[in-house]
Amino acid sequence: MATTPVEPTPETKSGIPKPVSAGTLLRFSTAGSVDDGKSTLIGRLLYDSQAVLEDQLASVKKSKINRAAGPIDFSLLTDGLRAEREQGITIDVAYRYFSTPRRKFIIADTPGHEQYTRNMATGSSTADASVVLVDATKGVLRQSRRHAYIAHLLGVQHIIAAVNKMDLVGFSQDVFERIVAEFQQFASQLGIRNVYAVPVSALEGDNVVRGSKRMPWFSGPALLEYLEQLPASGASPDAPLRFPVQYVIRPDASFRGFAGQVASGTLHAGQSVVALPSKVKTRIRSIVAFENEPLSAAPGDSVTVTLEDEIDISRGDILAGEEQLPSVGTALQAMIVWMHHEPLDPHKIYLLKHTARTVRARIHQIRYRVDINTLEQLPSKKLDMNDIAKVDVKTTLPLFFDPYRLNRTTGSFIVIDPLTNVTVGAGIIEGAIEEQQQASQRRHSTREERVLRFGHPSGAVWLKGRPHVAELLERRLFDEGWHVQLAGPNDFLAHELVTVAKAYQLSGHITIFSPLDDGTDQKRVVRAIYGPDAFFAVKIDDDTDEEATERIMKVLRKWRDKQSDSQKENS
């Protein structure tokens, strides 16, 4: 609700605790199976708290579509896409804003179809509370369980079970209690305590904003009343400082400010901090602002700080409280929700975005997959869309992280497919994997580990007669982070070529061979060592050095990005 901050006070029942702090924001999302009435519930909530504007209501009343038994199909208030209205389902999250005299709400109305679980997860990832709907005529379904599980996994603090369509079961207390017992049992298996259960009729409004005369046996607060008094979560100011650096502000040589949002803890001038990954200790000199420079900053604040010492910090680095540093490492264990129809591939190199860092990574081991119904941990070779699993992740560059339960910001990541650029997974960090334990598993580094570190397998570029291009190419690749080596005509004797090529091939380099002339034999021998897929004989016409270099770079980048695909075929 945008335009009416003052609503008539709903009749309130006695005995409801006062809100923690008047006017605080609560973000909540809906969850549950298709047709359980999520969208209808949100529509009803908005309507009964007079947060629906007249022209919006008129357009719903006018609509040719109405699946509701009553005069108004409330689901049309949030199902804002054509396809949704036509098919009568929710496809993607809708965000709605409204407030009561007691507090502000951001609601995420999410889809119930298993196919759109990724959108449900999107809506839940920032929620303080999740209202899981259960259709009283159907009981607890697979999707109700899945959603309760995902909400819990994503750290949603309050899970509410709203048993809906009570009008269809004669407002029966028995039915309600049976469903609640089933839900509670599942919830307690997950470790969710204190589920609040409320019987509602979204369609007719019972126990949504106001209590229901038709269910005198229920004495708890209506759904909205309950939500009004829930404490909102939020990172603790008492936790150790985590300040991921998002942007470096450098208007002139005299000023270097580090901009970011405080993930946890507090910041103030004079405070000692440690910069990671350099581990250099320094102090905050000042917090800089457009006007009224603040003395301190709390979790959630977006600020810019300057430091006492000139140290090298860039985007993706982190400032941390020295009393407790985050884990620093390239190996971690996480729960992952897979969100793409192409299954997870343990050999593929993905991109992983964690705070302001994006690194290459492999999700190389699936410890177990969770059966949503029974919560059993099943061994699994692959992960399909909507699967949830515990995995081992190995990144090319170190991340600075905490367990998700301690810190939602430094404990979460998304997985991106480098070829399609689509977000394919969401990760919840449980902790670091001891590097020692890992190292002890193998005696020396493997080809795969090298590929992971360098971002590419070994390869050869055969570049005859253009020594300048060879040098330029080597420099460019090196600057881009490739593991590259130039093998020029004076670097070794002709008869050493085979040995040199073999050594570089094993070590994982991209080697640029720049011979004066190519006896076809030499070329053939090197090609045989690398194999046709990793050997690039470059024909250079009369293009400039610059053009030639760029052209080869393009080919190499394409080849590198394709590697993940061919690895899949090989495995």
Partner 1 sequence: MPLLEASRLEHLKMLEAESIFILREAAAEFAHPVMLYSIGKDSSVMLRLAQKAFYPGKIPFPLLHIDTNYKFPEMIEFRDWYARHVGAELIVHKNQKALDEGANPYDLGTQKCCGLLKTRSLLDGLAEGGFDAAFGGARRDEEKSRAKERVYSFRDSLGQWDPKNQRPELWNLYNGRHHKGESIRVFPLSNWTEFDVWLYIHAEKIPIVPLYFAKEREVVVRGNSILVLQTGVHLLPGEKPQMVKCRMRSLGCVPCTGAIRSDADTVPKIIEEMISFRRSERENRVIDHDEEGSMELKKREGYF
- The span from the CA of 165 to the CA of 133, in Å, is 10
* 106 lies in the site for partner 1, by CB under 8 A: yes
Return the residue matching tokens 């050997």.
Answer: 535
Among 387, 304, 401, which Cα is nearest to 353's? 401
* 222 lies in the site for ligand GDP, by CB under 6 A: no
400, 277 Cβ separation under 8 angstroms: yes
Residues 6 or more apart whose Cβ sits within 8 Å of residue 66? 72, 73, 76
Residues 253-282: x where in contact with ligand GDP by CB under 6 A, - otherwise, as a string = ------------------------------
Count interface residues toward ligand GDP (CB under 6 A).
Answer: 22
- The span from the CA of 144 to the CA of 163, in Å, is 11
Residue 144 or 485: which CB sits closer to Mg ion?
144
* 94 lies in the site for partner 1, by CB under 8 A: yes
- The span from the CA of 139 to the CA of 183, in Å, is 9
Touching partner 1, residues 514-543 (CB under 8 A): none
CA dist list (Å): 401 to 245, 329, 406, 536: 14, 8, 10, 40
Among 394, 405, 403, which Cα is nearest to 332's? 394
Q: Which of 49, 122, 201, 567 binds partner 1 (CB under 8 A)?
A: 122
* 290 lies in the site for partner 1, by CB under 8 A: yes
* 317 lies in the site for ligand GDP, by CB under 6 A: no
* 288 lies in the site for partner 1, by CB under 8 A: yes
Residues 6 or more apart whose Cβ sits within 8 Å of residue 166? 136, 172, 175, 176, 199, 200, 201, 206, 207, 214, 215
76, 90 Cβ separation under 8 angstroms: no
* 36 lies in the site for ligand GDP, by CB under 6 A: yes
Residues 93-122: x where in contact with ligand GDP by CB under 6 A, - otherwise, as a string = -------------------x----------
Sheet holding 484-487, edge to edge: 484-487, 510-513, 459-462, 535-537
- Smallest distance, Å, CB 41 to Mg ion? 9
* From the list partner 1, ligand GDP, Mg ion, none, partner contacted by residue 387 (C-beta under 5 to 8 A by kind): none
DSSP-assigned letters across all residues of 292-339: S--SEE-TT-EEEEEESS-----TT-EEEETTSPPEEEEEEEEEEEE-
Q: Which of 68, 91, 168, 525 binds partner 1 (CB under 8 A)?
A: 91
- The span from the CA of 129 to the CA of 337, in Å, is 19
Touching partner 1, residues 153-192 (CB under 8 A): 154
CA dist list (Å): 513 to 489, 526, 535, 543: 8, 9, 11, 19
* From the list ligand GDP, Mg ion, partner 1, none, partner contacted by residue 488 (C-beta under 5 to 8 A by kind): none
> What tokens were used for 231?
């404490």
* From the list partner 1, Mg ion, ligand GDP, none, partner contacted by residue 34 (C-beta under 5 to 8 A by kind): ligand GDP
- The span from the CA of 256 to the CA of 278, in Å, is 17
* 48 lies in the site for ligand GDP, by CB under 6 A: no
Judged by DSSP in three states, 142 sits in helix
* 67 lies in the site for ligand GDP, by CB under 6 A: yes
- Smallest distance, Å, CB 58 to Mg ion? 21
Residue 90 or 407: which CB sits closer to ligand GDP?
90
* Segment interacting with ligand GDP, rule: CB under 6 A, options 37-45, 175-183, 242-250, 468-476: 37-45
Residue 204 or 448: which CB sits closer to ligand GDP?
204
Q: Please, what's the largest Cα pairwise distance for the chain?
A: 96
* 8 lies in the site for partner 1, by CB under 8 A: no
* 37 lies in the site for ligand GDP, by CB under 6 A: yes
* From the list partner 1, ligand GDP, Mg ion, none, partner contacted by residue 36 (C-beta under 5 to 8 A by kind): ligand GDP
* 38 lies in the site for ligand GDP, by CB under 6 A: yes
CA dist list (Å): 356 to 170, 267, 282: 53, 19, 21
Among 160, 117, 43, which Cα is nearest to 424's? 117
* 40 lies in the site for ligand GDP, by CB under 6 A: yes
- Smallest distance, Å, CB 348 to partner 1? 16
Q: Which of 202, 339, 460, 487 binds ligand GDP (CB under 6 A)?
A: 202
Touching partner 1, residues 315-334 (CB under 8 A): 315
Count interface residues toward partner 1 (CB under 8 A).
Answer: 73
Touching ligand GDP, residues 158-187 (CB under 6 A): 164-165, 167-168
Among 216, 222, 133, which Cα is nearest to 171's? 216
Residue 39 or 330: which CB sits closer to Mg ion?
39
Q: Which of 144, 266, 282, 412 binds partner 1 (CB under 8 A)?
A: 412
Residue 312, CB-side half-sphere exposure with 13 Å CA sphere: 2
- The span from the CA of 512 to the CA of 473, in Å, is 8
* 259 lies in the site for partner 1, by CB under 8 A: yes
- Smallest distance, Å, CB 441 to ligand GDP? 47
Residues 333-362: x where in contact with partner 1 by CB under 8 A, - otherwise, as a string = ------x-----------x-xx-x------
- The span from the CA of 149 to the CA of 164, in Å, is 19
Q: Give me the residues paired with residue 378 across strands.
A: 369
Q: Which of 198, 416, 473, 529 binds partner 1 (CB under 8 A)?
A: 416
- Give the residues lining the site for ligand GDP (CB under 6 A): 32, 34-40, 67-69, 75, 89-90, 112, 164-165, 167-168, 201-203
